[in-house]
């Protein structure tokens, strides 16, 4: 009996309703179905009184989800996709992402197209696009205090953003650099269209094997976005007192004290997305962000999104 999964945003009533309907349809077709909420992939937030809220990377996989699963349907927006990718990446489960949110930059299809998309997924008529992920760890001495998988970006800043942060950053075997800024972002190619883009970083197409470091509002003309190979690890040593706050994928993180070290490297796991047609990144940029449209619209020569 083939096996499929469903991960849905239980905050959105429509996602919950569709999840039940989808489970019934797959079960009637002879599939073994596991269903779970994306809340299991939400990273815990720390508090000043408890600076560590640690869930091991492999501890987020929902019960019943394993490498035997043919695919999992994700019902939600971009936040749900980010959470679901953390839940299933260690198992290598391909994700069919269905937008029930707003932007849906990471989603493949919409609810009104779900019946046809599901038929294609059940028949195996799709391509799989792999997206690089980061492993983010916080060390105090030799002890790992916190870790997480990251599909978009890691952000380190003060709380609140009221004054300058100082960092010593070492990339690979290169000499450490000092950066003074409101914060720093370390981003994957997937995350280059998220917070990194808003902070002035470049757009990177998904298949390029690089990471990027983007200072947030740096206090120097010399501190600009840096793109480097994803074979290089990153170590960040904060200088600020009493603490900084780290956020992963805009979701959760922990407080970073001056004696801590934030370590990042490309993960051994990848997010695997089902593509019902050959991936076309520039089309998504055009539809979602308006990239490449003429500065003067010409309705007869260009189809606006």
Per-residue pLDDT, averaged over 157-169, amounts to 82
Short-list 269, 271, 264, 238, CA closest to 147: 264
For the annotated catalytic residues, the residue numbers are 78
Per-residue pLDDT, averaged over 115-121, amounts to 96
Does the pLDDT of residue 221 top 60, yes or no?
A: yes
> How would residue 85 be classed by pLDDT, with cut points 50, 70 and 90?
very high
Which residue bears the tokens 């799709």? 126
- pLDDT of the residue at 97: 97
Q: Identify the three-state secondary structure at position 102.
A: coil
Which residue bears the tokens 């492993």? 135
Short-list 205, 167, 175, 173, CA closest to 188: 205
- Percentage with pLDDT > 70 across the chain: 92
Does the pLDDT of residue 98 top 80, yes or no?
A: yes
> How many angstroms from the chain centroid is the CA of residue 15?
20
- Express each pLDDT in 223-275 by its tens digit: 899 999 999 999 999 887 778 889 999 887 788 888 899 999 999 999 999 99
What's the Rg (C-alpha) of the chain?
20
Other C-beta atoms lying within 10 Å of the C-beta of residue 269: 21
> How would residue 210 be classed by pLDDT, with cut points 50, 70 and 90?
very high
- pLDDT of the residue at 48: 58
- pLDDT of the residue at 228: 97
Is residue 99 within 8 Å of residue 273, measured between CB atoms? Answer: no
CATH, range 133-268: 2.60.200.30
Domain limits, the chain: 3-131+270-289, 133-268
Lowest mean pLDDT among 101-115, 140-154, 217-231, 283-297: 283-297
How far is residue 283's CA from residue 263's CA, in Å, rounded to a whole number? 34
Domains 3-131+270-289 and 133-268 agree in fold:
no
- Express each pLDDT in 177-191 by its tens digit: 999 999 999 999 999
Q: Pick out the residues of the known binding site.
A: 78-79, 152-153, 182, 193-198, 251
Please state the pTM of the whole predicted model: 0.90
Question: What are the DSSP calls for 7-74, one per residue?
Answer: EE-TTSHHHHHHHHHHHHHHHHTT-EEEEEEGGGGPPPBPBTTB------GGGGPPTT--TT--EEEE
How far is residue 172's CA from residue 183's CA, in Å, rounded to a whole number? 20
What value does the mean pLDDT of the chain take? 90
Peptide bond into 92 cis (omega under 30): no
Lowest mean pLDDT among 26-35, 92-101, 279-288, 293-302: 293-302
Short-list 38, 42, 14, CA closest to 100: 14
Give the list of residues 6+ apart from residue 296 with CB closer than 8 angstroms, or none: none
Domain 3-131+270-289, CATH class in plain words: alpha beta
How far is residue 264's CA from residue 212's CA, in Å, rounded to a whole number? 12
Lowest mean pLDDT among 66-70, 275-279, 289-293: 289-293
Does the pLDDT of residue 46 top 70, yes or no?
A: no
Does the pLDDT of residue 33 top 80, yes or no?
A: yes
How far is residue 71's CA from residue 134's CA, in Å, rounded to a whole number? 22
How far is residue 23's CA from residue 6's CA, in Å, rounded to a whole number? 8
């Amino acid at each position: 009996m083939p096996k499929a999964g469903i991960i849905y945003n239980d905050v959105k009533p429509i996602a919950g309703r569709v999840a039940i309907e989808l489970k019934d349809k797959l079960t009637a077709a002879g599939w073994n179905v596991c269903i779970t909420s994306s809340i299991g992939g939400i990273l815990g937030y720390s508090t000043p009184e408890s600076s560590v809220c640690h869930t091991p990377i492999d501890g987020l996989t929902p019960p019943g989800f394993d490498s035997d699963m043919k695919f999992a349907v994700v019902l939600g927006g971009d936040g749900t996709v980010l959470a679901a990718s953390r839940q299933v990446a260690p198992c290598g489960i391909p994700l069919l992402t269905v937008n029930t949110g707003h932007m849906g930059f990471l989603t493949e299809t919409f609810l009104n197209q779900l019946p046809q998309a599901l038929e294609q997924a059940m028949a195996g008529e799709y391509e799989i696009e792999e997206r690089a992920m980061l492993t983010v760890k916080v060390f105090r001495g030799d002890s790992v205090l916190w870790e997480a998988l990251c599909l978009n970006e890691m952000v380190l800043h003060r709380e609140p953003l009221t004054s300058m942060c100082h960092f010593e950053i070492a990339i690979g075997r290169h000499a450490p650099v000092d950066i003074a800024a409101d914060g720093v972002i370390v981003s994957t190619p997937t995350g280059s269209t998220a917070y990194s883009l808003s902070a002035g970083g470049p757009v990177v197409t998904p298949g390029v094997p690089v990471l990027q470091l983007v200072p947030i509002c740096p206090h120097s003309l010399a501190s600009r976005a840096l793109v480097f190979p994803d074979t290089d690890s990153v170590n960040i040593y904060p200088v600020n007192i009493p603490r900084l706050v780290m956020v992963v994928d805009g979701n959760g993180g922990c407080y970073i004290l001056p004696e801590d070290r934030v370590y990042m490297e490309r993960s051994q796991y990848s997010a695997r997305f089902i593509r019902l047609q050959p991936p076309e990144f520039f089309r998504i940029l055009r539809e979602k962000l308006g990239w490449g449209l003429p500065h003067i619209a010409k309705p007869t020569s260009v189809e606006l999104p």
